[in-house]
Structure 1
Amino acid sequence: MNEEKIIYILDTNILLHEPFAFLSFKEHDVVVPMTVLEELDSIKDRKRDVSRDARVAIRALEDALANATPEQVLAGVPLPNSTETNASGCLSIFNDFSLERVTGNLSYNENDNRIINTAIHIQNTQKSKKVVLVTKDINMRLKAKGAGLLHVEDYRTDQLINDIQFLTKGYHTFDGDFWENVQSCESETEGRNTTHYVKRELLPSVYMNEYLIDEGEHFAGKITGYDEDNFSFADLSRERLMAKNAWGISPKNIYQGMAMDALLDPAIDLVILTGPAGSGKTLLALASALEQVVERGLYDKIIVTRSTPEIAESIGFLPGTEEEKMAPWLAAITDSLEVLHKQDENMKGSLNYIMDKANIQFKSVNFMRGRSIQNAFVLLDECQNLTASQLKTIITRCGEGTKIICSGNLAQIDSNYLNALTSGLTYIVERFKDFPGSSTINLNGVVRSRLASFAEENL
């Protein structure tokens, strides 16, 4: 083994987060403690969505070690796709039951402690190599450092940005008047639509369907194309964006105007809405859904699903059908429906009528796998609590004629091993930022109430 190699010890949550994670370390060595296999074994038979990831991880490890002898498994088996050179990485299982007790180590009563002890033991016996424990558990990282482990890291191969402030917002704001920054421009007009062509140097970082606004009261545009020298944008005007209307709802600020433009555009298949609580993500999405399903007849039904924190994979103890079980988690949707129909004489009757007329279906994230959703308007709420792989599972369910809205607040993540940088919501914002069929809008500003606005800024 090359002395420059790093030895990575994987925690269970890494393999649950990404079952093939052990293949991501290339020329370095990967150690899976026996305790991790025990935890995967205890999880694989649970009636929870995470059990599938445990089974996939177990099968992947078995495939990698299938032809190895017990001695080779302990010593290290070359990782799949690695070369025959000294730089190839190895995968090994560490039998922590044979670990010698070292004074000062953590108690063996907890699985986390046994994994940390394994890492410390390898660090003590492999002093010429860098030993790194990889875990998404923040508290475990703190315990490992306190116990004397020199290197502890999070798993970041699915992290596309290093600072959340660099996350694409979906629009560019220009100081002053936009046209004062433009030195040359060519324009084309077709009917009511005008497209302008401007030098790329004005906006070096540009993506499809991004919006352009300035500090004035009139200008607004939307990127329609670009090359190395120029970019083109449709001249929308603020007045046109602010005049958007869906199911009686109009934008309260320019950010909601941009969001509603994307939500009502049939050429956009995926709309990603980010922003603080109270910025109108759910209300705008639901109003746009009702407008296009009931009034315009563009879609056949509305499917509403969301992540349910803590027991996201376990809704079985609640009585009733799937939709009745999901009702407590989808109160945000029913609250928004009430807001949209609060002026009706018989609000309850209106809600029942519209639920039937728009064919609104409440579905659990669990049961989205394996489906093919055709000609539907899909609302996926609370996306910040989903991993990249979970979001991929849901988005790939969307068939012909389906539009999906992913919304979430990166400041309200409930998952134990996700943060704003590793959330699936952040991942898809970055992955889809230049896809012609998607649009991202960060709803900047709380419109719920002055109390909510003050709380968002000061708490």
Structure 2
Amino acid sequence: MKKIFVLDTNVLLHDPKSIFAFQEHEVVIPAVVLEEIDSKKRNADEIGRNARNVSRLLDGLREYGHLHSGVPLPQGGRLKVELNHRSFLKLQEMFGEITNDNRILAVALNYHLEEQEKEHPAAVVLVSKDVLVRVKADVLGLLTEDFLSDRTAEPDELYHGCSTVKVHPSVIDEFYSFRYLAVKPLHLPYELYPNEFVILKDEMGTGKSALLKVNKEGSRMEPLYMSNDAVWGISARNAQQRMALELLLNDDIPLVTITGKAGTGKTLLALAAGLMKVEDERKYKKLLIARPVVPMGKDIGYLPGEKEEKLRPWMQPIYDNLEYLFDVKKAGDIEKILMGLGSIQVEALTYIRGRSIPGQFIIIDEAQNLSRHEVKTIVSRVGEGSKIILMGDPEQIDHPYLDAASNGLSYVVERFKQEGISGHITLEKGERSMLAQQAADLL
């Protein structure tokens, strides 16, 4: 049976193409949503860009009829801009204040009450990414959903980049004898992806094991490419960190994604690998480090000074790791070192649009705060001979419309897991300190 989906403003601002995601059902956009979108269209950020895209999409749909009467959608449904269901009388007893959220709720409620009078009523569903709006809708007896069509996978189903396989000890012996194992003869009940790491363990319960990596064709497992030597004074402290360094130092893998909780060593490992490739091996011309400017908590507002001075508070975590790697003793010395080298650039992602970046080792920190569009913009900037590392913690998101499964980092991990040009690993064990690990686990 067909349903009626009433869309909240945040759904359209999160994904302008969401109006095409409801198949044969009817999509309703309350008039107040258009007002809110109009107020955002002059913003210079992604919200403003999405608002302008929504405006263009709706304008294009006007060619097929009057929006207030309803126009057909490509998937078989209909889109309608609602003007006649804004009566607030039904909500006044519960929610007296006439806010934009309550006006959207009023549209959904009036549609619901109207449908209940029919012989075969259609289900009315309010779609919103605002948790409190969904709670209010539930109080009113309305069906409500989050917009989930942009989610790559459930958080606990996201690709980890490493599998543990229990095998007969003779299989492990075969690997050590021939230095490779074909994937097909193992008859695994699940697929192994290119550049995925595999830990073989003896199914008989002995301590025999082996660490391997699937080749880029996904046909066989091979030994790790790199040794476990220190990289700029940093050595892997656990198996996942060794896997991360394997991906970071392999020039045949131009896209690397690393996820993990705070303190697992993501930034430090990436910086150490980048310095080795740029300063020691001269494989890349420059080390470019960037992160999105998204505040945790209340925004600190405008900052004084030139661009470098404005960026310093946002980039401080990067400088902290660089000071550790360069063993800086005095405050301010790291700027002199970076200025002297000239091959290390730290900047905000704001300045990356429109650039082409060839021959560089690019590190994007806090990538979980990027949307799918933003991460596409960044990865598509990568020029010939460059390597890009996207890293972050999908559980620590400060963006209002993203979550662990819909953010840009998780999107790249899932979409590229079958590609031989990319590799991924999830770091699980914290190495910052015992306190940091306990905080990540308990808090």
The TM-score with structure 2 as length reference comes to 0.89
Give 2:130's match in structure 1, choosing from 134, 137, 149. 137
Residue equivalent to 2:204: none
Checking the alignment, whether the CA contact within 8 Å between 1:33 and 1:96 is kept in structure 2 is: no
Q: Does 1:206 align with 2:200?
A: no
Measure, in 2, the Cα distance between the counterparts of 1:368 and 1:382.
Answer: 15
Report the counterpart of residue 24 of structure 1 in structure 2. Answer: 21
Equivalent position to 1:392, from 376, 387, 401? 376
Identity across aligned pairs (percent)? 37
1:155 to 121, 139, 147: 147
Unaligned runs of 5+ in 1: 83-87
Which of 295, 299, 318 is the matching residue for 1:333?
318
For structure 2, which runs of at least 5 residues remain unmatched after alignment?
Answer: 202-206
What displacement does 1:97 show? Answer: 7.7
Relative to 1, partners in 2 of residues 1:252 and 1:92: Cα closer, same or farther, differing over 3 Å? same
1:115 Cα deviation (Å)?
Answer: 0.8
CA contact (8 A) 2:357 2:383 kept: yes
Other-structure match for 1:43:
40
Residues 250-399 of structure 1: pairs in structure 2 closer than 5 A: 250-310=235-295, 317-342=302-327, 348-349=332-333, 351-357=335-341, 359-399=343-383
Asked if the contact 1:186–1:197 (Cα under 8 Å) also holds between the matched residues in 2, the reply is no
Aligned to 2:69: 75
2:181 pairs with 1:196: yes
8 Å CA contact retained: 2:40, 2:51: yes
C-alpha separation between the residues in 2 aligned to 1:97 and 1:202? 56
In structure 2, how many angstroms separate the alpha carbons of the residues matched to 1:14 and 1:379?
Answer: 30
Q: Quick one: which amino acid aligns to residue 211 of structure 1? A: F
Amino acid at match of 1:235: P
Give me the whole-angstrom Cα distance separating, in 1, the residues matched to 2:248 and 2:217.
Answer: 23
Distance 1:45 1:185, change over 3 A: same
RMSD over equivalenced CA pairs, Å: 2.7
Tell me which of 87, 90, 97 is aligned to 1:102: 90
CA apart distance, 1:185: 5.6
Query: Which segment drifts farther, 215-224 or 55-64?
Result: 215-224
How many Å separate the matches in 1 of 2:77 and 2:377? 30
Q: Which amino acid aligns with 1:336?
A: N
1:112-131 paired onto structure 2 within 5 Å: 112-127=101-116, 128-131=121-124
User: Secondary structure of 1:309's match?
Assistant: coil
| 1:238-249 alignment runs, 5 A limit | 241=227, 243-249=228-234
Q: Note the C-alpha offset of 1:136.
A: 1.0
Asked whether the 8 Å contact 2:216–2:420 carries over to 1, the reply is no
SS of 1:74 mapped into structure 2: coil
- 1:221 Cα offset (Å): 0.7
Query: Is the contact made by 1:304 and 1:361 (CA closer than 8 Å) also made in structure 2?
Result: yes
Question: Which secondary structure does the structure 1 equivalent of 2:16 belong to?
Answer: coil
What residue in structure 2 maps to residue 436 of structure 1?
Answer: 420
Cα deviation per residue 1:338-389 (whole Å; 9 max; x = unaligned)? 11122x5667445522354253223332332222221111111112222222
Cα distance, 1:77 vs structure 2: 0.8
Look up the equivalent residue of 2:134 and give its one-letter code. R
Structure-2 separation of matches of 1:310 and 1:14: 22
CA contact (8 A) 1:307 1:383 kept: yes
Secondary structure of 2:439's counterpart equals: helix
Q: 404, 409, 424: which is aligned to 1:420?
A: 404
> Residue 386 of structure 2 aligns with which residue?
402
Equivalent in 141, 145, 159 of residue 168 of structure 1: 159
SS at structure 1 position matched to 2:108: helix
SS at match of 1:8: strand
Q: Match for 1:146 among 126, 139, 146?
A: 139
State the TM-score, normalizing by the size of structure 1.
Answer: 0.86
Change (3 A) 1:441 1:121: same
Equivalent residue for 2:211, pick from 220, 233, 246:
220
Structure 1: which amino acid aligns with 2:414? Answer: E
1:37 and 1:366, CA in 2 relative to 1: closer, same or farther beyond 3 A? farther
- 1:9 pairs with 2:6: yes
Distance in 1 (CA, whole Å) between partners of 2:43 and 2:277 is 40
1:143 maps to amino acid? K
Contact 1:386–1:424 under 8 Å retained in 2: yes
C-alpha distance in 2 between matches for 1:74 and 1:36: 14
d(CA) in 2 for partners of 1:386, 1:181: 46
1:456 matched to 2:412? no
Q: CA deviation at 1:217?
A: 7.4
CA contact (8 A) 2:28 2:81 kept: yes
Inter-CA distance 336–449: structure 2 relative to 1 (3 Å threshold): same
CA distance in 2, matches of 1:214, 1:355: 46
* 1:347/1:291 CA distance change after superposition, 3 Å: farther
Query: Structure 1 CA distance, aligned partners of 2:301 and 2:403?
Result: 27
Distance in structure 1 (CA, Å) of the matches to 2:251 and 2:242:
16
The amino acid of 1:91's aligned partner reads: L
- Give the length in aligned residue pairs: 431
**Residue 89 (str. 1) matches residue 77 (str. 2):** yes
Q: Deviations over 1:241-294 (max 9, x none)?
A: 4x2332221111111111001001111111111111100000001111111111
Which residue of structure 2 lines up, in the alignment, with residue 85 of structure 1? none
CA distance 1:102–1:361, change in 2 (3 Å): same
